[in-house]
Amino acid sequence: MATEWNVLNLLRHSRHDWLNHLQLINGYLSMGRVDKVEKLVEDIVNKAKNESHISHLKMDKVAEKLLTFNWGDHSFRISFEVITNESDWSQVEDTVYPFWRCYFNY
């Protein structure tokens, strides 16, 4: 079942994710595991860059699904990496989006 996202729901989920990251960082720091903190920060930065890239490809419906999928109750998680120099994928969105809806039922 697809979730209807509104601003408050989006902010709530985003805040929850950030709080989880901050709690992990705090926990690693309290254990003196600076190496773990550095790796976690690197992962967070890479994730944010990929989220930014997908948000700028002009495939808004696909980007919304990718960015919010892991907030739902699913039996698997999705991670992605954007590797392209193209900035406009709007011409393929009508092909990609139905695929997403069909195979991921979301």
Does residue 73 carry a pLDDT above 90?
Answer: no
Model confidence pLDDT, tens digit, residues 7-26:
998 999 999 999 999 999 99
Q: Are 58 and 97 in contact (CB under 8 A)?
A: no
In a domain, 4, yes or no: no
- Closest of 95, 96, 67, 62 to residue 79, by C-alpha: 67
- Closest of 47, 19, 45 to residue 27, by C-alpha: 19
Q: What residue numbers bound the domain in which 36 lies?
A: 9-104
Q: Are 95 and 60 in contact (CB under 8 A)?
A: no
Rounded CA separation 91/95 (Å): 8
Total domains in the chain come to 1
In a domain, 65, yes or no: yes
Going by pLDDT thresholds of 50, 70 and 90, the confidence category of residue 102 is: confident
In a domain, 1, yes or no: no
In a domain, 84, yes or no: yes
Across 44-64, average pLDDT: 93
- Closest of 21, 75, 65 to residue 43, by C-alpha: 21
Return the pLDDT at 2: 62
Return the pLDDT at 106: 60
In a domain, 35, yes or no: yes
Across 24-37, average pLDDT: 97
